[in-house]
Chains A and B, each alone.
Chain A
Amino acid sequence: MKKLLKNKEGLIEIGFRLNGTEIKTSVKPNETLLELIRRLGYKGTKKGCDTGDCGSCTIIIDGIAKVSCLLPAFYAEGKEIITIEGLGDVSNPHPIQKAYADSGAVQCGFCIPGMIMTTKFLLDRKPKPSDSDIKHALDGNLCRCTGYVKQIEAVKIAASKINKK
């Protein structure tokens, strides 16, 4: 990792890939990665607690799901970051997004982007997860609407769809 330096305004210049696009920006030393991502216009990543407890701000950094509210923005330097917007869109949704929508797993939808990113990370590692695998993986993503019942179903549906491909 290259050494990061503050510029004259006290900002840190960083570069990283966000959903496949090269980003060059400067960040404040105390800015969180969550704040940076939202500032760049990617509003799908949500702030539910800002203390790393709810999982709504989960993104994938170099292939690993992480909560972005606990990371400094400059952590992004040189990384490959995927947010919910990078998975798919309404006209061409990722099978996980489609499965969540189809199975009634989305109520208010605020926790859903984070939960989908965690699901992506799980299915990348374990294409055929057991119930226990799913529950352990999603444990850090809080939802108050659904009782998790239909979300666990959604992960199973998504897994079988991805595996059929």
Chain B
Amino acid sequence: MIQIDFDSRATETARRLLSEHPDGVQQVAARHSGGAGTDLALILSLATLAIPEVRKIIVELIHAGKYRSVTIKGKKITGYGAEDVKRILAGLGEDAET
């Protein structure tokens, strides 16, 4: 599974994913001790990520930088640089060039 904290520009996309894939997409609401919280965070199962249509949406979203953070295998990636995008896509098993 991965967790994506969406930024406000991707709210509609996130809500659509949640309603269309209720078995593999789950919402998380959190307030952290440091004061930060999630606006709209989703966890996605690996099986759901394997659905081409879902995968396409997520990859586009990553390329567009419409996230606050992406957590894969416990690692929380918060940057938007080429290296960060490459790491996120590698974590999804995706080629950075696609």
Task: State yes or no: do A and B come from one complex.
Answer: no
Q: Which residues of A contact B (CB under 8 A)?
A: none
